Amino acid sequence: KIVNDVNILTKRNSYVILSGIKKSQQAKVITKWNKFNFIPLKIFSYGNWVTLILIKN
């Protein structure tokens, strides 16, 4: 999956922007990325859509 590839290609303190996420999937996406040490830095929502800015710890 993409999270594994991004994890390999990024270093600590790297930022990742995920957009086009349905609000109903937000928690699931955050949980998945947390397992690879990416934590939410900022969350933007517009209607039923969410953009996540994550930072790698």
Residue-wise pLDDT for 18-28, tens only, equals 999 999 999 99
| pLDDT at residue 1, rounded to an integer | 83
What is the dihedral sign for C-alpha 4, 10, 13, 15? negative
User: Do the Cβ atoms of 51 and 44 come closer than 8 Å?
Assistant: yes
Cα separation, 18 vs 25, whole angstroms: 12
Domains contained in the chain, number: 1
Q: Which domain holds residue 8?
A: 2-56
Cα separation, 11 vs 23, whole angstroms: 28
What is the dihedral sign for C-alpha 45, 48, 53, 54? positive
Give the global pTM.
0.92
Residue-wise pLDDT for 3-41, tens only, equals 999 999 999 999 999 999 999 999 999 999 999 999 999
| pLDDT at residue 42, rounded to an integer | 99
User: Do the Cβ atoms of 31 and 37 come closer than 8 Å?
Assistant: no
